[in-house]
Amino acid sequence: MTVASAGETARKYAGSGRTGADHAVFVQGNELDGNTIRVFERGDDGALSAAGSYATGGKGGDQVDAPTDSLASQGSLVYDDRSGLLLAVNAGSGTVTSFRVEGRKLTDRRVVDSGGDFPASIAVSGKLAYVMNAGGAGSVQGFRITAKGLVPLAGSSRSLGLENEKVPLFSSSPGQVAFTPDGRALVVTTKSANTVEVFPMRRDGRPAHRPVVNNSAGGVPFAITFDKAGRMLVAEAEKSTVSTYKVRADGTLKVVQQPLPNGQNTLCWLERAGDFFYGGNTGNSTVTGYRTDRHGKLALTNEVGIATPPSAMSQGVIDLAVTQDEKFLYVQNALSGTVDGFRVGRNGSLTKVTTATGLPAFAESGMEGIVAV
């Protein structure tokens, strides 16, 4: 099963047909007057060079009082390796766009209604895609992934029971939707409610009618990712912690490791690169490195919790992306309007190899969503 969620590319290689000449990084501009996808050629050394811009046919969005991250989510831009589709939310127009990825070109643009207000995150498992709508009561809406893009799955919409406006307050919107690696559960984090909600999936591709509501081990759960053994890691913004869970078949969560603090400010994003994980701390513009041992225990890669020193060109760290070969990490800097690229060392250290400039910096809105293939 090919799985892509949490802003990360699917890590299944069979049938992808991609070569070194096709390597690219895609960045979502999230412009309010017309959302775009910016394409960058990625060299073998990780360096980025601009390779085009494509309109999504929808509008970007900006949550109420968002400090640096307009969508306040992870997974707003997703590449599905199995189908070769790039999926992007258009939060301001309540739609989702799919493109076919052909090398560094995006073709066959198709736009569908997201099934709710302010779509902010996408998860993929096999031939299914689920979109998290952050506005209003909040919802998840299912789609079939077809040769003609996304097709709504009848009877798949489920409410999150929130009480937001159509454009939500950033602190009360849900943070991410993600599939478990086996595709048997759909998970949503809710920030202000401090819950991690699990929808067991039925064989017909539809979720249970109501989620299993689990209290978060740490405050303000935001991003979701998984280790090699399928354990779920959740980044928590309140005290910049990461908690580790086992997702049980009935939708309940077992805490495997209590919240691990990183000593930084406002951890929101979290991505895996092999046995390492990297978290984006937007409050002080740093990136934290984590490692897991063979028992799945999480620890910081260094005592200070900073995998790479911040720079003047790297302000407002938000979303992250890891390449399929797990050799490079790319980090969006919302306030600077830049993307930094790092080589992942054998010990988890990060070495900067590139900085792409000229991207939409955070003002009325700003870029959010990044994919590396």
Q: Is 148 exposed, middle or buried (0-12, 13-18, 19+ CB in 10 A)?
A: exposed
Alpha-carbon span 35 to 44, nearest angstrom: 29
Alpha-carbon span 19 to 213, nearest angstrom: 43
Q: State the pLDDT at residue 170.
A: 94
pLDDT digits (tens, 9 = 90+) for 180-230: 999 999 999 999 999 999 999 999 999 999 999 999 999 999 999 999 999
Give percent of the chain with pLDDT exceeding 90: 90
Q: State the pLDDT at residue 122.
A: 98
Alpha-carbon span 154 to 89, nearest angstrom: 20
Q: Which of 315, 329, 330 shows the shortest CA–CA distance to 361?
A: 315
Q: Average per-residue pLDDT in the chain?
A: 93
Q: State the pLDDT at residue 21.
A: 58
Q: State the pLDDT at residue 22.
A: 84
Domains of the chain, by residue range, sit at 3-372
pLDDT band at 7 (very low <50, low <70, confident <90, very high): very low
pLDDT band at 8 (very low <50, low <70, confident <90, very high): very low
pLDDT higher than threshold 60 for residue 19: no
Q: Answer yes or no: are the C-beta atoms of 65 and 76 closer than 8 Å.
A: no
Q: Answer yes or no: are the C-beta atoms of 174 and 140 closer than 8 Å.
A: no
Mean pLDDT of the 49-73 span? 96
Mean pLDDT of the 73-80 span? 98
DSSP track, 63-82: -BT-SS-TT--S-SEEEETT
Q: Domain 3-372 belongs to what topology?
A: Methylamine Dehydrogenase; Chain H (2.130.10)
pLDDT higher than threshold 60 for residue 14: no
Structure-block tokens of residue 301? 């890669």
pLDDT band at 285 (very low <50, low <70, confident <90, very high): very high
Q: Answer yes or no: are the C-beta atoms of 226 and 180 closer than 8 Å.
A: yes
Q: State the pLDDT at residue 10.
A: 45
Alpha-carbon span 109 to 133, nearest angstrom: 21
Which long-range contacts (C-beta less than 8 Å, at least 24 apart) are formed by 345-348?
347/301, 348/276, 348/289, 348/290, 348/291, 348/301, 348/307
pLDDT digits (tens, 9 = 90+) for 132-180: 999 999 999 999 999 999 999 999 999 999 999 999 999 999 999 999 9
Q: State the pLDDT at residue 295.
A: 87
Alpha-carbon span 249 to 271, nearest angstrom: 24
Structure-block tokens of residue 248? 């049980």
Structure-block tokens of residue 191? 């920030």
Q: Is 84 exposed, middle or buried (0-12, 13-18, 19+ CB in 10 A)?
A: middle
Q: Is the pTM of this model over 0.85?
A: yes
Mean pLDDT of the 336-347 span? 96
